[in-house]
Every structure is written in C-alpha cells, then in structure tokens.
Structure 1
Amino acid sequence: MNRTQQRGRSARGTDRSQARRKELIAIGRTLFANTSYDALSMDDIARHAGVAKGLIYYYFTNKRGYYLAIIEDAVAQLAERADATPDLPAYDRVRHTVDGYLRYAQHHQAAYRAIITGGVGFDAEVQALRDTARARMLTAFARGAWGRDDLPVLARTALIGWLSGVEGVTLDWIGEQRLPRETVCALLVRGLEDTLRLIAEYEPDCPAPPAG
C-alpha cells in the first residue's frame, strides 16, 4: 500500500470516527432530554445507543465527559442557528438572529435548558460552556446590528442585560408554549430595538439599525 492509499484510508477512518461520535452525541441529547443525569448510568447509555460501553469511554472518557460534549455541541448549534445572515439588511439580520435563537430553543428544549441553567448543579466546565454560548450570541447580535464583532464596554453591558431577559423569556416560553414563536420574536426584537437605540445615544460608533 502506497502513502496515498494510506492517507485515504486514514481519512476515511477519521470521517467514520467523527460520524460515530456525532451519532452518539445525538443519542445522548435524546437520553438526557428524557432522563435526569443522575438516573442514567453508563450501562444505560450504552444499551440505548446499542454499543459496547467501552465505545462511550473511548470517545468521552466518562459520563461527565459525555454530558459536556453534548452541551458543547448544543452551544455550537445554537450559535450557528442564531448567527446573522450577512446578505440581509441590518434590521432583517437582527430579526433573523432572534428567530434562529428561538427556533433552536423550541426544537431542542432540554439542550437549551442545560446551556442556560448550567446543567447538573454547579459545574465550572458547564458554566464555562454557558459563558461561551453567551459570548457567541453577543457576537451574533453585534454582527446583526452593526456588522462588527468587537463591542465597546457600554454596548456589551447593555446587550448582556437584554440577553439575560431573552434567556428568561425563552425558558418561560418553551415551558408554557402559550404564545406563537412569531409573537415572542416580535417582543424580543422590539426590546432589542429599544436597547440598540439606548446604546446609540452613548456610543455613536454603534448606530441603531433602521426599523424594517
């Protein structure tokens, strides 16, 4: 076997390994959505996944590592789903970002709750993942509003205040489901518009996008 063939076989093996890991994360997302963390053993996880327990250990080391991988994957999906679309006008990018955020929370409720509430008790690594999620969301909203990643301190503080409200509203909404997503999106966008206008008063470099 020549080197080209070896590289090809290695790449295929890596692709299969990554696909298997993603499959196990998807299975774990469903398991932890329906069963509490403490109630699931590694034997339970392996049985539901239809794999040997050793495979879970191979990819994730232990149950906590598995759970953290699931939350990390959820954070990445949330940020990707909510990230702004660059070819839209500023106001539409903002609305798209909020709607993408709500869609993710609606269709992945357990993962969203784990991100926002910190998962199983206080865990520094879970909290770090939550901070990562917030930072990526702030970047997404900054891109949507101003087409930039860097935020002045005042703008960041104001957006964190608004985002904290978004998290509370979203948690209540997915628990009650008494309002259509479009209505919740409109409420949150209106609140963001007010926040962006306030920021613009103090930060001329961050003008509020014109309303659509």
Structure 2
Amino acid sequence: MASTTDNRPRRMAPEDRKQALIDSALELFGKDTPERVTMEDVAAHAEVSRALVYRYFSNIEEIYVAALRTAVDDLVARLQRQREGDLLDQLEATIGEFVSFAEERAAGYIALLRSGSVIATSETAALVDEVRHAAVAEVLARLEIADPSPFLLLTLRCWVAVCEGALLTWLQERTLAKEALVPWLSGQLVAMVAATAGHDPAVADFIAKLGRDQP
C-alpha cells in the first residue's frame, strides 16, 4: 500500500506551543510598536489559527507581558555571562550585549522605554526595572562590591539611565557605529564615577579597579 504524507503541522506539547507563540510575538514586537500588533498578527506569523492563540492568551496585553518576560530573562542571562579580560574589557562586552539586544528588538524597545505604548502596564514597568537592577548588580558583582555606598549606587543607576537614553537616540538616528557607541558608554561610567569620587572618598577604590589595567 502506498504511504500518504500528512502535511498538517506536527502537534506540540502545550508549553512548547505557548513558547512558540511567545517567540512569534517577540519577533513582531521587535519590528513594530506593541500597540500595532494584534492577536491576528501573532496567529498569522506563527501560522496557526486565531482560536489557537486565544486558547493560550486572553488578549494582546497578556502576550506582550509574556514576551517581555522572555526578553528580560534573555537580556539578564546575557549580562551575566562570564567574560574574559580586565574589568573594562568585561564591561564593554556586557554593554555590547545590551546594545545588540536593543538592536534586535528596536521598535518594541523604543516604545517600552518611552512609555509610549498604550499597552504598557505596571507589570511591564516592573520588568524594565528588573533589567535596570540586574545591570547595576552585574557591575557591582564584577567589582566584588557587596555593600556599595549610597553615592556609588546612585552613580550606577544614573549611568544605566544614560545607557538607556543613548540607546534610544542611537536606535532612531544611527549616527554612530556600534563599535564607537560601546566604548563611549563605558567611558561615561568611568567619568561619572570619577566625578562622584569628589563627593565620596569610598568611591576611590572603584576608580582604582576600573583603571588598574589602563596606561
């Protein structure tokens, strides 16, 4: 008997199917602002029925939060990767990961940090704050500082805000090459910490660690 070929999509486990929908949504949010993406768009991109999407998610806001959760987990994992070289080399590699992440999801990243999305919520804001805290924690971990001074903590938080603002401008204008942006951002951290040292003697140790391998 001649065999027949079943061209229907292979059945997936529920969790795998849900993740596949989230992955499709992530790609869409990376190309367009979140409020312009619909449930129908997700279904079409994932090549499934609209009803199947609604089986896993009640609305586009729910998909957006799930997609952002996946993106945040991805970014935090990138920030925490082991690095080689001196502290500044490690810092620039970490910033490079941040810039690449923002570039991959440019439209959604811009809308989110601008708070311009009509589907932004306190939950999405909390996820963005999670990335900010992770970035500060990663710098402190690489410096082996468990108890940062208030001035140092404030400096690192302000530097993360500088990175976000610079990335928003860069993604929209692209007047600099990525290879120029990354060392500039690391230089901003060194400059900000140096300025803070004039107000907090404890920060001098931080400067010494940042500059120990520099000429």
Q: TM-score higher than 0.5 here?
A: yes
Kept in 1, the 8 Å contact 2:159–2:192? The answer is yes
Q: How far 1:84 sits from its partner (Å)?
A: 5.2
Q: How far 1:134 sits from its partner (Å)?
A: 0.9
Alignment partner of 2:161 out of 164, 168, 171: 164
What is residue 83 of structure 1 aligned with on the other side?
Answer: 80
Alignment partner of 1:29 out of 26, 30, 36: 26
- The structure having more radius of gyration, on CA atoms, is 2
Please identify, of 21-30 and 78-87, the stretch whose mean Cα deviation from structure 2 is larger: 78-87
What is residue 52 of structure 2 aligned with on the other side?
Answer: 55
Please identify, of 76-85 and 133-142, the stretch whose mean Cα deviation from structure 2 is larger: 76-85
Q: Does 1:132 align with 2:166?
A: no
Structure 1's unaligned 5+ residue stretches are 1-12
Kept in 1, the 8 Å contact 2:151–2:196? The answer is yes
Kept in 2, the 8 Å contact 1:109–1:174? The answer is yes
What is residue 16 of structure 2 aligned with on the other side?
Answer: 19
Deviating 4+ runs (over 4 angstroms): none
Amino acid at match of 2:141: R
SS of the residue corresponding to residue 204 of structure 1 reads helix
What is residue 98 of structure 1 aligned with on the other side?
Answer: 95
Q: How far 1:86 sits from its partner (Å)?
A: 5.1
What is residue 191 of structure 1 aligned with on the other side?
Answer: 188
Q: In structure 2, how many angstroms separate the alpha carbons of the residues matched to 1:150 and 1:76?
A: 25
What is residue 155 of structure 1 aligned with on the other side?
Answer: 152
Q: In structure 2, how many angstroms separate the alpha carbons of the residues matched to 1:182 and 1:83?
A: 21
Partner deviation per Cα, 1:103-125 (whole Å, 9 max, x = no partner): 21122212422442236245211
Amino acid at match of 1:142: L
Kept in 2, the 8 Å contact 1:74–1:112? The answer is no
Q: How far 1:61 sits from its partner (Å)?
A: 3.3
Amino acid at match of 1:97: T
Q: In structure 2, how many angstroms separate the alpha carbons of the residues matched to 1:147 and 1:58?
A: 47
Kept in 1, the 8 Å contact 2:83–2:93? The answer is no
Q: How far 1:199 sits from its partner (Å)?
A: 4.4
SS of the residue corresponding to residue 206 of structure 2 reads coil
Q: CA RMSD in A?
A: 2.7
Alignment partner of 2:109 out of 95, 103, 112: 112
TM norm structure 1:
0.79
Amino acid at match of 1:57: Y
Q: How far 1:168 sits from its partner (Å)?
A: 0.9
SS of the residue corresponding to residue 161 of structure 1 reads helix
What is residue 74 of structure 1 aligned with on the other side?
Answer: 71
Alignment partner of 1:43 out of 40, 44, 51: 40
TM norm structure 2:
0.78
Gap change, CA 1:162 and 1:25, over 3 Å in 2: same
Q: In structure 1, how many angstroms separate the alpha carbons of the residues matched to 2:201 and 2:53?
A: 50
Q: How far 1:71 sits from its partner (Å)?
A: 1.4
Gap change, CA 1:174 and 1:124, over 3 Å in 2: same
Gap change, CA 1:149 and 1:27, over 3 Å in 2: farther
Kept in 2, the 8 Å contact 1:33–1:111? The answer is yes
* Equivalent pairs, count: 198
Please identify, of 155-164 and 120-129, the stretch whose mean Cα deviation from structure 2 is larger: 120-129
Q: How far 1:191 sits from its partner (Å)?
A: 0.7
Q: In structure 1, how many angstroms separate the alpha carbons of the residues matched to 2:146 and 2:53?
A: 37
